[in-house]
A and B are shown apart, each in its own frame.
Chain A
Amino acid sequence: EAQVTQNPRYLITVTGKKLTVTCSQNMNHEYMSWYRQDPGLGLRQIYYSMNVEVTDKGDVPEGYKVSRKEKRNFPLILESPSPNQTSLYFCASSFQGARETQYFGPGTRLLVL
């Protein structure tokens, strides 16, 4: 089954404790992206990757890091999480092309205390 998977689905952590949220897709998509969703603000892009070893900032990159060492994986790293990073996070992927549709993962709900 074609899908985007994320782990963990739920995470409670404390300020400053480094964490990684994994994202994997089995569709051989070149493009991958991370979004966060907050009430009243909608979905906002954090980082994106056009292909292996190619990443760039989205609209709200502060406090996040990403890497793309393999085509299928695109982990999101919070090196020193803060309470304002409490949010619902989504990974998405698509083929690379102007007409390609992005498909989303199930989401990771993060609470930073």
Chain B
Amino acid sequence: EDQVTQSPEALRLQEGESSSLNCSYTVSGLRGLFWYRQDPGKGPEFLFTLYSAGEEKEKERLKATLTKKESFLHITAPKPEDSATYLCAVRDPSGAGSYQLTFGKGTKLSVIP
């Protein structure tokens, strides 16, 4: 059973059309939920870490929120350069060494000019 599920798998937006990506998780005792951005053929680039329900973080056009069962990555007025795959990961306290990240499969975002 997947511990981290991201939806949708792919999302096409017009430039300026705001939307949200979802990351739901089933681990208990969450020790952090992470959002990364990944461009094709490159390593994941860190965006945000959230630790407790109700927490919110913002960076430019991106805003991440966390509840007890899911996280949302809100994209406001996206631009073509926001096109990438967005990955969600959770730190599972039962994971290897307690530092293991369990990743979702990502949401591929395309922003059309």
Chain A residues within 8 Å of B, Cβ to Cβ: 4, 31, 33, 40-45, 48, 50, 56-59, 88, 90, 94, 96, 98-107, 109
Contacts and interface: CB of A to CB of B under 8 A. Distances in A.
Interface in B29-44: 31-32, 34, 36, 41-44
Nearest to A94: B99
Contacts of B34: 101-102
Given A42-B103, A99-B49, A104-B44, A56 B91 contact: no
Nearest to A98: B31
Interface of B: 31-32, 34, 36, 41-46, 49, 51, 87, 89, 91, 96-101, 103-106
6 contacts: A31-B97, A42-B103, A58-B96, A90-B43, A90-B44, A106-B42
A43 B103 contact: yes
B42 to A, nearest CB: 6
A-B pairs, top 10 by smallest CB distance, nearest first, are A104-B43, A43-B103, A42-B105, A104-B44, A42-B103, A106-B43, A107-B43, A105-B43, A98-B31, A101-B46
B87 to A, nearest CB: 7
A58 B103 CA distance: 13
B99 A58 contact: no
Contact of B97 (A42, A50, A99, A109): A50
Nearest to A104: B43
Nearest to B34: A101
Contacts of B41: 88, 107, 109
Contact of B99 (A40, A96, A103, A107): A96
A56 B96 contact: yes
Given A42-B105, A109-B41, A98 B100 contact: no
Contact of A48 (B31, B32, B49, B96): B96
Contacts of A100: 99
B70 to A, nearest CB: 17
A5 to B, nearest CB: 10
Contact of B104 (A42, A45, A99): A42
A41 B41 CA distance: 16
Contacts of A59: 96, 100
